Homo-oligomer: A and B are copies of this chain.
């Protein structure tokens, strides 16, 4: 029986994680849940899985949840402290880090420091502080298991092979809804159009990141840290069908790939059950029915976010954290119709251009760079980015 904490239980990854726990009640038990705005769903989840603790954003939400769950013996806490309390719970074996954005960093680091295995869905944690996270995971001897389908694919394609034999990693990208849209039309893209992802059902932030290819950029940085491979040996292929989830090419020309239907349950389940696999109750891959898989190179002219991510990774230090923070502000501004779609990379590039990277020595230093970038990005927006 593996005891799980789910940070971000009401998001897409959190919900799928709980579906798996429901499907395998003898293998997993939920000991803590944390959520953001969706208190209704959190309370429903708490009634079903009976965790010892739940955590929400602030005191007011905590009070509300406490009242709604007052017939149950569940502790309700809140804020960053609440998230840390959940992430470090003594009885927990594994923490599923599924919070969206920079907010995932601090509780994930706390879980690592408490010696918990991590199922990592929050890519920003590694983008911002990969060096610190990988070092801490090594010190604690814990397993850091990727949940992103691309990184789960690479993890599976590396199993049983020698790290020294890697020639390159190939991350696949659906290319998003604007894969074939001419550059001239990018400034007219609406939030509604950008939120309509062809293959994956995901939260808003990651859906916009998929449309700009920043999601793939964040994944390149994540892959660098998870698999200890330099930027120059990480390539991206556009693969609209999202069936080949990613690949590893070895020095003899052999390429090992992991494929599957585009459903997050498989990579989540693999992170939970590794090194075993769960017999998931879902349709297998039928390549004969799918018929064809296509591949092309990404267009960095139309999707400059991907190039910005490579630039951030190669410069290193605090620059990836700055890029990530500027991107979060830019995506929110785009969703609020404050900036156009084409303004997202423009804003990120401007913020990055005025940052002088420093070495990442502490989480606090990273958070400082993150805050600086958010302020700077909001200033640019207020100044009238067009």
Binding site for B on A (CB under 8 A): 156-162, 165, 167, 170, 237-238, 244, 247, 249-261, 263, 266, 269-270, 273, 275-280, 282-285, 287-288, 290-297
User: In the bound complex, what is the Cα–Cα distance between A294 and B278 (angstroms)?
Assistant: 29
Contact assessment for A288 and B249 in the assembled complex, using a CB-CB cutoff below 8 Å: no
Select from chain B the residue with minimum beta-carbon distance to A283: B253
Q: Which B residue sits closest to A172, measured CB to CB?
A: B287
Pairwise interchain contact A254-B258, C-beta atoms closer than 8 A: yes
User: Do B167 and A284 have beta carbons less than 8 Å apart?
Assistant: yes
Can you offer 24 A-B residue contacts whose CB atoms are under 8 A?
A156-B161, A156-B254, A160-B161, A161-B277, A165-B277, A237-B287, A249-B284, A251-B277, A251-B278, A251-B280, A252-B277, A252-B279, A252-B280, A254-B259, A256-B257, A257-B259, A287-B295, A288-B295, A288-B296, A291-B294, A291-B296, A292-B292, A292-B293, A293-B295
Query: Complex Cα distance A287/B240, Å?
Result: 13
A237 to B237, CA, bound (A): 24
B256, A258: Cβ atoms closer than 8 Å: yes
Interface centre among A260, A273, A277 (most CB of B within 10 A): A277
B252 & A266 in contact (Cβ 8 Å cutoff):
yes
Q: Shortest beta-carbon distance, A160 to chain B, in Å?
A: 2
Complex Cα spacing A276 to B290, Å: 35
Residue of B nearest to A292 (CB): B294
- Is the beta-carbon distance between B282 and A253 smaller than 8 angstroms? yes
Q: Which residues of B contact A237 (CB under 8 A)?
A: 287-288
Q: A252 contacts which of B255, B256, B278 (Cβ < 8 Å)?
A: B278
B295 near A157 with CB under 8 A, answer no
Measured between beta carbons, the chain B residues less than 8 angstroms from A291 are 294-296
Instruction: Determine the distance from Cα of A264 to Cα of B288 in the docked complex, in whole angstroms.
Output: 25
Give the chain B neighbours of A279 by CB distance below 8 A.
251-252
- Structural contact, B162 and A159, CB atoms closer than 8 A: no
Please name all residues of chain B whose beta carbon is closer than 8 Å to the beta carbon of A157 when the two chains form the complex. Answer: 256
Given A252-B278, A253-B284, A290-B295, 16 extra CB contacts under 8 A:
A156-B256, A159-B160, A165-B277, A237-B287, A251-B279, A252-B280, A253-B261, A253-B283, A255-B258, A256-B256, A257-B258, A288-B296, A288-B297, A291-B296, A292-B295, A293-B293
Question: For A260, what are the chain B residues with a Cβ–Cβ distance below 8 Å?
Answer: 253-255
Residues of B within 8 A of A161 (CB): 156, 159-160, 277
Residues of B within 8 A of A288 (CB): 237-238, 295-297
- Among A157, A275, A293, max chain B CB count under 10 A is at A293
Interchain nearest-CB distance for A294 vs B (Å): 5
Kindly state the separation between the CA atoms of A137 and B93 in the bound complex, as whole angstroms.
41
Query: A277 near B254 (CB under 8 angstroms)?
Result: yes
Q: Which of A165, A259, A269, A296 has the most CB of B within 10 A?
A: A259
Chain B residue contacts of A255, Cβ below 8 A: 258-260, 285
Residues from chain B with a CB closer than 8 A to the CB of A296 are: 288, 291
Q: Write out the residue numbers on chain B whose beta carbons fall within 8 Å of the beta carbon of A290.
A: 295
- C-alpha spacing A280/B356, complex, angstroms: 42
The distance in angstroms between the C-alpha atoms of A273 and B253, with both chains bound, is 14
Bound Cα distance from A161 to B282, whole angstroms: 20
* Least Cβ–Cβ distance between A119 and chain B, in angstroms: 14
In the bound assembly, the distance between CA atoms of A216 and B256 in angstroms comes to: 21
A161 to B256, CA, bound (A): 13
Closest residue of chain B to A263 (Cβ to Cβ) is B253
Tell me which residues across on chain B come within 8 A of A250, comparing CB atoms. 277
Query: Shortest Cβ distance from A131 into chain B, in angstroms?
Result: 27
A285 to B255, CA, bound (A): 8
